[in-house]
């Protein structure tokens, strides 16, 4: 079931899924939590979209058979990404590399339909939530940036809250995409997706607020702790995200010291301008 607090010592195994905000050159929220779990696998992949993430969850379960002793943590990515499996490997493309991979004509015809991608990805997220519930597994859903997040508790508190709440998150959804594409005409089309947001409001309500919203106030390139070109969150920012989402979590002092050590490594990039050696993730055996 969806967890309300992160009590890490309950679990024997942890499996995590996501994009570069889950698996990167340095430790992320996933690797920090993984310090306290006896067995841990990080299935994240830089550039990954939700098609890849969904397939990874199903493949991981087929190989590992999730049980009630496991916790499954998923940080969903953006609906504007494209994932394909070809030649025994996954190609994962964020918006800025799609044209190089698929060509300008393909992107113009197929690669800009965010509404279609949103419908596709919300089905993946709904299926994942219901699948994990059926397995009697503890789980949590996060997101890299705010796909949309409906405050179900606020809806229950006030019968009139729902319309305001939905309007607010639709506005956030539109503003986010305006920031991403800097094109008001395209962005106004996104406002028409309110019916999708409405249809999947219960699913959105089970996704925690995004790391970009919590740490960067909704701005991916607004750095809180460093001033180098890489926009990814630093280890300390990842820890701050965990503490913000689960203020009563049971992270050990070892995990916090681990974070502090890696934060020093990442901050050294500011002065040395050298990317650190990639964090040594245990290899994942994928199809």
Cβ pair 63, 285 in contact under 8 A: yes
CA distance 113 to 186: 10
Which residue ranges in the chain fall short of pLDDT 50? 150-164, 180-181, 183-189, 224-226
d(CA 67, CA 69): 5
Q: Do 41 and 15 contact (CB within 8 A), yes or no?
A: yes
Are the C-beta atoms of 162 and 213 separated by less than 8 Å? no
Geometric angle at alpha carbon 90, from 87 and 96, rounded to 5°: 120
Q: Assess contact for 210 and 142: CB atoms under 8 A.
A: yes
Predicted local confidence at residue 173, as pLDDT? 58
Contacts of 59 (CB under 8 A, 6+ apart): 286, 287
Specify the CATH number for 8-147+207-272; select among 3.30.870, 3.30.70, 1.20.58, 3.40.50.
Answer: 3.40.50
Comma-separated ranges of CATH 3.40.50 domains in the chain: 8-147+207-272
pLDDT value at position 174? 59
C-alpha angle 151-155-158 in degrees, rounded to nearest 5? 135
* 53 touches 59 (CB < 8 A): no
| pLDDT at site 91 | 94
| Strands, E assignment, 7-79 | 13-17, 39-42, 70-76
CA 170 to chain centre: 19
HSE value, Cβ hemisphere, 13 Å, CA-based, for 215: 29
pTM score over 0.75: yes
Phi and psi at 21, nearest 5°, equal -80, 0
pLDDT at 33: 98
């Amino acid at each position: 079931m969806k967890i309300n607090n992160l009590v890490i010592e309950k679990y024997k195994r942890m499996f995590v899924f996501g994009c570069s905000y889950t698996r990167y050159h340095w430790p992320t929220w996933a690797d920090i939590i993984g310090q306290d779990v006896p067995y841990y696998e990080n299935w994240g992949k830089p550039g990954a979209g939700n098609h890849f993430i969904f397939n990874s969850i199903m493949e991981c379960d087929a190989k590992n058979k999730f049980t009630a002793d496991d916790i499954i943590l998923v940080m969903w990515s953006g609906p504007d990404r494209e994932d394909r499996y070809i030649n025994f490997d996954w190609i994962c493309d964020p918006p800025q590399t799609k044209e190089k991979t698929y060509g300008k004509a393909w992107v113009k015809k197929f690669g800009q339909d965010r509404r279609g991608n949103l419908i596709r990805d919300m089905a993946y997220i709904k299926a994942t939530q219901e699948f994990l519930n059926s397995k009697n597994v503890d789980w949590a859903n996060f997101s890299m940036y705010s796909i949309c997040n409906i405050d179900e508790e606020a809806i229950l508190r006030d019968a009139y809250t729902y319309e305001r709440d939905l309007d607010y998150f639709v506005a956030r959804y539109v503003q986010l995409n305006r920031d991403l594409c800097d094109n008001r005409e395209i962005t106004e089309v996104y406002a028409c997706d309110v019916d999708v947001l409405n249809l999947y409001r219960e699913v959105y309500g089970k996704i925690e607020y995004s790391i970009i919203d919590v740490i960067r106030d909704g701005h991916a390139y607004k750095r809180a702790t460093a001033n180098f070109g890489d926009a990814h969150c630093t280890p300390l920012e990842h820890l701050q995200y965990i503490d913000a989402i689960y203020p009563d979590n049971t992270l050990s002092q070892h995990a916090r010291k681990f974070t502090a050590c890696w934060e020093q490594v990442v901050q050294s990039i500011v002065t040395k301008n050298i990317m650190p050696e990639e964090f040594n993730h245990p290899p994942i055996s994928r199809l």
